[in-house]
Chains A and B, each alone.
Chain A
Amino acid sequence: MSDDPQEGAPEGLSEHAVPQADEALLEDLRDVVHRLDPVPEEALLAARSTLAYLRLDAQLAQLTFDSLTDAPLVGVRSQTEVGRRLGFTADDNEVEVQVVAEGSQRRLIGQCVPADEVELTVTHQGPAHAGPSDASRTETVTDDLGRFVVEVAQGVISLRCRWPSTGRVVETAWVRL
């Protein structure tokens, strides 16, 4: 199949051959959209700056549970009381977090598993339209069971756990709180 379906009528798709009038209308729309709804420059700046968060030595811990989307509906009400629960997994390593909202602040109560004294870094970015410079890192050490309590402002966060005993490092997927 052609990689470029908009170039005339690509083979294999001839039954969907695009009338020239459609092509022209789409072309007009493209121009209009580019003129009337361009990508804001500050959004592009923020996008370019995200490469700074490339993992160098850590494994990605994927979001495997989010009570906001995975919990049964009956849990919705209690969510504001108990907080949102998140689970991240990278092989045998897990990061569990409970998020308690207090105004625009978010208290993260969590644990890095396996339980051990773990070096924790929370990377936080505020609302995107505030610009790319609004990012911060909080470093702390958990108790000897991997437990922690950290406060961050509303925004998007990633947690990094390093187990000194094994040298393992994981970083969680970004999650918006």
Chain B
Amino acid sequence: MSASTTHNPGHRRTWLQIAIYGAVCLTIFLVPTILDNDFLLNKYSRYLVFGILAIALSLSWGYCGILNLGQAASFGLGCYCMAMALKLRTVPVHTGDDGLPDFMVWNNVTELPWFWVPFHSLPFALFAGIAVPTVLAALVGWFMFRARITGVYVAIITLASLVVVNLLIIDQQRYTGGFNGITDLAQLELFGLTFDAYSRNSYYLVASVLAACLFAALAITKSKTGLILQAIRDHEDRVRYFGYDVAHYKIFAFSASAAIAGIAGMLYTIVMEFASPTFLDVPLSLSVVIWCAVGGRQSLLGAALGAIVVTGTQGALSDSGIFLQSWTLLMGMIFVASVLFLPKGLAGLAELAGERLRRLGRDTPPPVKTDVLGPVREGEGLA
């Protein structure tokens, strides 16, 4: 009998992963204890929200090979659901007669539209912020994956869906605030706590949700369903002949990813104190792909850290006087370099370092053949 009955390396790896994920989450939680600056905490909360968004894409792209370029649509719908609820809770001085949102008054809307009415209830808004993006993704996914659309066509369809949602929101100014978005929001009050954007409460809220999403996504990837998603990424057709309905699995990954993106969107509204069509535009959607590529799309934590590092660097560069003009160029170079030299992103680098350390620890060096196909397969994923 092989030795693996006594110690299964797969399980050891899982526990190590849980420990590392936990340690990172703990570090994130400890930031406010050493940093007493509400402005910076707000900025960091924003980066963490992007981290959640990257986890969402890692789940669909990294684990199931679905390159979703419309991730910002799910994110933005979450943003707007939260903004609608918070708008209706604004103190009357900011809204028109009978609690009608101010921009509706300016647009000569006299009555609250039917789809705004349920947002008086906060629980409904929280539900909608997850359900609306999930149902939309399931619908788009149903059409795409039943028809066995793959690869670059998925990227095109998702990107097009994003543009449609974006245009719809900009066009329906009477109901959505159009270009201006929804501003002048109340602060979220939940469980007797007030979540001021510039406060520890909000930071802890975002950090907790990040941890929850990270571990929930990890649980999915460690389940048999997660294994089948990876098998689909690897060789979709082969999976069918074992009796799995590939479309079901893809719709699941696509929708679960949208749910997480919707949650991130709701948090973003809380942190930014407004919702805007720029929260669901193409540049943001493409940025998520870059974060995942830099951090390592096949690692949930890698993707999250990729988002935090890239947006953090972006923030720092654009703030500094020297790089005021050239920071986008610099970011582009970092992206190109990471795609060329780190096909598995920062997570791949960490894994390589871990492997080296382990080999130094033991004196038996098993010649682990590095996957020479790595960069090529990466290219296939994009195509």
Q: Do A and B bind each other?
A: no
